[in-house]
Structure 1
Amino acid sequence: MELIIAAGIIGLALGAIGAVIALRTAKSGTIREADNKVKSAHAEAEQVVSEARRTAETLKKEALLEAKEEIIKNRQAAEADDKQRKIEIHNLENRVMQREESLDRRNDALDKREHQLSSQQGNLDRRSRELEDLYQRQTAELERISDLTREDAHKELLDTVRSEVTHEAAAIIRESEQQVRAESQKTAQEIISLAIQRCASDHTAEITVTSVHIPSDDLKGRIIGREGRNIRTFEQVSGVNLVIDDTPETVVLSSFDPVRRETARVALENLIADGRIHPARIEEMYQKAASLVEQRVQEAGEQAAFDCGIHELHPELVKTLGALRYRTSFGQNVLRHSIEVAELCAIMAEELKVDARLAKRAGLLHDLGKAIDHEIEGPHAVIGADLARRHGERPVIVHAIEAHHGDIEPNTVLDVLVQAADAISASRPGARRESAENYIKRLEKLEKIANGHEGVERTYAMQAGREVHVMVQPDKISDAASTVLAHDIARQIEEEMEYPGQVRVVVIRESRATDIAK
């Protein structure tokens, strides 16, 4: 503040000096007047300086007073804050002291508890030793009284418990089976029998070779051609093996691709009818036959979809479905089998109040993979599911196709319907054929499984392996154990064998007494 006042005074002084200089430079006639004005200005400047000094002193005193008041206020606030903090510290010290006292009391209680537990543990150890000694004496006394060792008594007890458990298990199994049969057998039989009756159809038996009749054996030489050029050309163009042997008036076409084999058959028959057999003609006839068979495949797929009332199938799915016309499984035509499965699915779905059109679609497409399983590695169910998925089929249909042979876990009613319909179509009498060797092996396997159980005397596989009669020794197998034995054999057959339909296990226990009259 003092600096500001001093600067003002200096400014005034400088102004006055400037004015004096200005006056001196004025005309000479006004010098005296200027001197007077200078003197007057000096007087005014001194008056202004004195007033400025008085004002500065006053402001200085006021600033000092304000500073002292501010210091007093800050000191009072600091003292109040310090007093409050001392109070809080005192309270915290009181709480800490109370907690320490509480911890001391708890520590004393824990020490007393530990002492009590140590005393009780000693008592328990002593009583445990006494009980062990008593148990040993009682065991020895019981062995002396019963004349049985501990192991013998344990074995006898286990035998008794095992006998009781076997009897109870047999009773539970018998009761459960009767209850399940009473509730489900009638309904299941009605649904399945109705489905089979409404879907009875004939199946043609086809295998991996096709026999072609020729008018005379002279044609065999012409089919072979000079140095075998005709037969080589035919096999290269068709991809089918042409077998010419001593069989009269017959040549055989062999291939795992049924469509290719059918194309080769049509081409060969047309060549024989035409009479001109040479490499160029073979290629020409095969191209015509391929177009004809492709048209037949397309028509077969469309007809199958039409017969089942299924529309909006992708053209590739229709074509693949038609190729099943030339595919067989155990002598059963796969296309006819697929149509039959579709009908069975629809019938059972109607009985169960499920969407019959969806079930029929899944049944018709379930074996799609068999048409191309010779081209792609993997189970035909997985191959068919991938094909259906690529061509826009709904996920529920794709899942039913993939689950119908257990490649994935079935989790919908539709999955189970397709599985059941597939099994019914494949296992019904006359649907499939199997070789005598496989048939005999299956019967031997059934008898071997049953004979492997203790107490079995003889086993007979009957009704083409659909029923097994097990003769047991009556002195080793009781009536209750017979029920358990039948259950165990049936479970083992399910786990170790693959078979169409069902296998019935019959356990026979009988006692005979024989005498001779003389």
Structure 2
Amino acid sequence: MRIAVSTGSVASLLLAGVLIVVVVSAWLMVRRLQAVQRRSTAETERTRRWAEEQAARQRAELDRREERLTEELGRLRVQEGELAQWSVDLERARSEAIELVAHRARALERAAGLSAEQARAELVREAETEARREAAVTVREIERAAKEEGERLARGIVAGAIQRLAGEQTAETAVSVFRLPNEEMKGRIIGREGRNIRAFESVTGVNLIVDDTPASVQLSCFDPVRRETARLTLEQLVEDGRIHPLRIEHVHERSREEVARRCVRAGEDALLAVRIDGMHPELVRTLGTLRYRASYGQNVLGHLVESAHLAGMMAAELGVAPEPVRRSALLHDIGKALTHEVEGSHAAVGAEFARRHGESAEVVHAIAAHHGEVEPRTVEAVLTQAADACSGGRPGARKESAEVYVRRLERLEEIARAHEGVAAVYAMQAGREVRVMVRPEVVDDLGAQVIAREVAKQVAEELTYPGQIRVTVVRESRVTEVAR
């Protein structure tokens, strides 16, 4: 019984302790909540005061800005009024200026007797004339400087190349003279009732002329290869002494083979002379046939070899690879051996022929462009043109008929006389120079420059000539006074 009472007292004490702890915890929690609430209230109050201060500062700043904007608006309104006044003043001044200009224009029209359109046209003409004069002066200065520099460089290169080369000169026609050992051989050539000479002309395609010239006959044909074949045939017939139609056919066949071998050998010799290899055999054979062809009396194969040497030397002086330049110059006239077979100019025909036989695009272009039919775009084409002109235009290289020469001189003088202010024209130095005398009261210095340029351009477009033609316009100034 005593133990039970003691246990109940302990439980009561524990319960009372628990209650006290709970009450104390609740009180502490309440105090913490009150402290948190106070801190929150204080923080809220501080935030409110800060927001009020910020708003007060912003209101003050806005007030200051509003005052500044009000002041600026006032100044702008004042300036707007001033600008409006200035605009009115400018409009009034513009109206007065327009009226003054119109008044002066009317006064000038009355004084000059010209309308405004006429005066404007006169001013435009004067401005155009002045601009042309200034342009002519500028062009003349630029041309002079470029010409002096270009001539200085070109003269050294071309002169050096020509001085290093000494080529042969030839003069060929459409007739070859064959010497006979005696007069009796003429009768054997003619044969009984002329059968031998008829057979010879039929087989060779060459006219055989037997006249009163002692111990000689003439072979006439425009195809030099065929004429050379006939000459070789006649030479072998005369040496053998047996002349009859069957023998003529047999010897002519052998002569054709011999001429073909000579053509190949001539082509190979040309390649060896200019140090070129790797060329198609057909190109070599066709090149060799040009040994029997002539242009203005100049042997074409010799001209090609000479051009190749000149082009190679000029290329070396300019620092360009000489081999493709020599190749282009050697083949530039190969079309002259084919023009009787294919239609077209010899430049275009030769370029196509070289292209078909494996030549490079640079060589083909140089061949096509060497006469200006195609605009030259490579250094090989330009040097081929220059070498061709040097070889064909040097003194003594070519000859032409007197009729063509006279016609060219007459046309030169006609072209120059067609210009206004020309007093006299003289073709000099075998047509290589034209002297044009102008009247100084009609043509001024700039006009003389224009005449020289136009005459040179027209000559280059209309005439065909070797080398170049110099056009010189002479304007003489004379001052005359009479003493009384």
Give the TM-score normalised by the residue count of structure 1. 0.70
1:182-235 deviation line (CA, Å, top 9, x unaligned): 322211100010111112211221122212122344433332222322112112
Offset at 1:517? 11
Aligned to 2:39: none
From 127, 140, 146, the counterpart of 1:180: 146
From 240, 243, 258, the counterpart of 1:277: 243
Q: Which runs of 5+ in 2 are unaligned?
A: 1-97
Q: How does 1:197-346 map to 2 (within 5 A)?
A: 197-346=163-312
Distance in 2 between the 1:484 and 1:166 partners?
A: 11
Secondary structure at 1:426 match in 2 = helix
Aligned to 1:189: 155
Q: Which runs of 5+ in 1 are unaligned?
A: 1-131
Q: Which amino acid aligns with 1:483?
A: Q
Aligned-residue identity in percent? 54
Offset at 1:136? 9.2
Offset at 1:370? 1.2
Change over 3 Å in CA distance of 1:376–1:224 after alignment to 2 = farther
Change over 3 Å in CA distance of 1:154–1:504 after alignment to 2 = farther
Secondary structure at 2:186 match in 1 = helix
Distance in 1 between the 2:472 and 2:331 partners?
A: 38
Q: How does 1:95-244 map to 2 (within 5 A)?
A: 141-148=107-114, 153=119, 156-157=122-123, 160-161=126-127, 163-244=129-210
Change over 3 Å in CA distance of 1:146–1:326 after alignment to 2 = same
Q: Is the CA contact 1:267–1:289 (under 8 Å) kept in the aligned structure 2? A: yes
Distance in 1 between the 2:455 and 2:291 partners?
A: 39
Distance in 2 between the 1:414 and 1:382 partners?
A: 17
From 427, 440, 443, the counterpart of 2:393: 427
2:334 paired with 1:365 = no
Change over 3 Å in CA distance of 1:134–1:493 after alignment to 2 = farther
Distance in 1 between the 2:107 and 2:192 partners?
A: 104
Aligned to 2:56: none
Q: How does 1:464-483 map to 2 (within 5 A)?
A: 464-483=430-449
Aligned to 1:491: 457
Distance in 2 between the 1:513 and 1:323 partners?
A: 64
Q: Which amino acid aligns with 1:258?
A: P
Offset at 1:461? 1.0
Aligned to 2:472: 506
Deviates more, 1:230-239 or 1:369-378: 369-378
From 375, 379, 399, the counterpart of 2:345: 379
Offset at 1:152? 6.1
Q: Is the CA contact 1:167–1:481 (under 8 Å) kept in the aligned structure 2? A: no
Distance in 2 between the 1:211 and 1:516 partners?
A: 70
Distance in 2 between the 1:449 and 1:272 partners?
A: 55
2:365 paired with 1:399 = yes
Q: Which amino acid aligns with 1:289?
A: S
Offset at 1:410? 1.8
Distance in 2 between the 1:450 and 1:136 partners?
A: 50
Aligned to 2:421: 455
Secondary structure at 2:288 match in 1 = helix
Q: Is the CA contact 1:373–1:379 (under 8 Å) kept in the aligned structure 2? A: yes
Q: Is the CA contact 1:373–1:380 (under 8 Å) kept in the aligned structure 2? A: yes
1:129-165 deviation line (CA, Å, top 9, x unaligned): xxx9999987655332212356864675465345423
Offset at 1:457? 0.5
Aligned to 1:415: 381
Give the TM-score normalised by the residue count of structure 2. 0.74
Distance in 1 between the 2:207 and 2:389 partners?
A: 34
Distance in 2 between the 1:342 and 1:335 partners?
A: 11
Provide the aligned length of Structure 1 versus Structure 2. Answer: 388
Distance in 2 between the 1:243 and 1:156 partners?
A: 75
Secondary structure at 2:242 match in 1 = coil
Q: Is the CA contact 1:267–1:285 (under 8 Å) kept in the aligned structure 2? A: yes
Offset at 1:476? 0.8
Larger radius of gyration: 1
1:400-458 deviation line (CA, Å, top 9, x unaligned): 11221233232111111111111111111111001111111111111111111111100
1:25-58 deviation line (CA, Å, top 9, x unaligned): xxxxxxxxxxxxxxxxxxxxxxxxxxxxxxxxxx
Deviates more, 1:326-335 or 1:358-367: 358-367
Q: Which amino acid aligns with 2:110?
A: R
Change over 3 Å in CA distance of 1:493–1:240 after alignment to 2 = same
